[in-house]
Amino acid sequence: MIRRTRQTSFLAATAVFEAATGLSLLAAPASVLGLLFGPDPAVPVPPPAGRAVGAALLALGVASWLGRARPGPAGRALAAGLFAYDVAAAAGLAFVALGLGTAGVLLWPGVGIHVALAVWYGVCRRHGS
C-alpha cells in the first residue's frame, strides 16, 4: 500500500506533467510532435491524432489531480494504472527512437520522465507496504 503523502505527491506530479503535455498537444500539435519525434519522423503523426492524444493526456492529468487526495482502493488503483501507463509510454517512446531511428529533442527526456515516474511509484509501493 502506498502511504497517502507519497501517493498524493506521485499523483500531483503526474497530473502536472500529463496536463501540461496534453495542453501543449491540443494547442500546437505539429510543434510538440516535431519536438518529440523530429522534423521528419519515420512514421508521421498527423496533427489531429496529436490533438486526440493531447485530450487523453489532459484527461489523465485531471484524473490524477482529482485522485491525489483519494486514499483507499480508488487512489491506489489510479496510481497503479498510471504506473502501467508510465511503463508502456517509456517503452513506446524508446521504441520510436531505437526501433524506428527517429527522435526529437524531447523524446529522450520524455522517456526519462516516464521511467522516473514508474520508479517513483515502485519505491512508494515498496516503502508503503
Each residue's pLDDT tens digit, 74-88: 888 998 999 999 999
| Predicted confidence (pLDDT) at residue 101 exceeds the cutoff of 60 | yes
Residue 108 or residue 102, greater confidence: 108
Rounded CA gap, 99 and 12, in Å?
Answer: 32
CA quadruple 57, 4, 6, 18: dihedral, nearest 10: 10
Residue 126 or residue 86, greater confidence: 86
Could you report the per-residue pLDDT of 22-76, keeping only the tens digit for each? 999 999 999 999 999 988 877 788 889 999 999 999 999 999 999 988 777 888 8
Among the listed ranges 1-5, 81-85, 90-94, 99-103, which one has the minimum average pLDDT value?
1-5
Residue 31, C-alpha cell as written in the block = 510543434
Domain residue spans of the chain: 4-128
| Predicted confidence (pLDDT) at residue 1 exceeds the cutoff of 50 | no
Quote the pLDDT of residue 93. 95
Q: What single-letter DSSP state applies at residue 90?
A: H
Quote the pLDDT of residue 74. 86
